[in-house]
Amino acid sequence: MADTVAARGRWGTVEWAVDARGRTPAREFYEGLQPDDRAKVDALFGRFAETGKIHNTEKFKKLRAVRGRDLYEFKCFQLRFIGAFAPGFRFLVAHAVRKKKDEHSQADLECGARVLNEHHSRGMP
Amino acid sequence: MTTRQPITDFEQFVNSSEENRRLLRQEELILEITESISAVMEAERITQAELARRLGKSKGRVSQLLAGDRNLTLRTISDVCDALGCRPGFQVKYEIPMQHNIRLGGALGFQWTELGTRRLVVHEPERVKGISSPSDELRIAA
């Protein structure tokens, strides 16, 4: 599991969800970021792993439920990371996208929910 | 025997270079400030629109500030806190190796916080006579 933990803290962990092909699409997006953007994302994930919450709705907010899953997003300006809480003080990041509009397309939400389902279908917690 | 946990992407980034560590610390500070402000707004049930009204700014401007944009100056932070009925504070935390920290904690009543597995953050205690810098602290402890 060495490759799936984005940040670890006193609350728990922020982890990358693994899809049916064994890939971590959100992490692949993250790895393609420039250092200044990566620092923004890491600061956010690090704080979340420490506290288990982000008060600022400009940085973290609940999205609508898709396929029975409550989805949430981390926001760093145009960078959006979609995921969901998982048992054991974990947050799984499933999908990431760079977008200008505030609202997500249904396709982005479906993609996030699909990767989360695939992650759990692999028998991963 | 304890099992060493795999390194996280966060740890990998912070240890990758001085420049990356500096970038991360900048973002952590911005997040610390916007989170503190957001926590007060949440506790007092103050909306962005209400804060905008109190500041005489647009809601869009408040949204930008809370997103941590480049114009989040010390003066702006002070104005936002004043509008919320608060006063901002500032705290510098020393990062020193764990073994020194524990000795200092035991000897001088410092508080410490574990940060990952390699670093501890020491919160500056109430002023102790004769101590004015981290190096002074180390000399006194030795």
Q: CA of B16: which chain A residue's CA is closest? A: A35
Residues 6+ apart with CB under 8 A from B59: B48, B49, B52
- Report the residue from A39, A58, A59 with minimal CB separation from B20: A39
Residues 6+ apart with CB under 8 A from B83: B51, B54, B55
pLDDT in the model for residue B14: 94
Cβ pair B6:A5 closer than 8 A: yes
Domains of chain A: 5-121 (3.30.2310.20)
Judged against a pLDDT cut of 60, whether residue B140 lies above it is answered with: no
What is the ipTM score, two decimals?
0.91
Cβ-based interface (< 8 Å): residues of B facing A: 5-11, 13-14, 19-20, 23-24, 26-28, 30-31, 34-35, 37-39, 41-42, 63, 66-68, 116
Whether residue A43 lies within 8 A of chain B, CB to CB, comes out as yes
Domains of chain B: 9-83 (1.10.260), 93-141 (no CATH)
**Any idea which residue has 């410490």 for tokens?**
B112
pLDDT range class, residue A124, cuts 50, 70, 90: confident
Cβ pair B24:A75 closer than 8 A: no
Tell me the pLDDT tens digit for each residue of A66-99.
Answer: 888 899 999 998 999 999 999 999 999 999 999 8
3-state SS track over A46-104: HHHHHHCCCCCCCCEEEEEEECCEEEEEEEECCEEEEEEEECCCEEEEEEEEECCCCCC
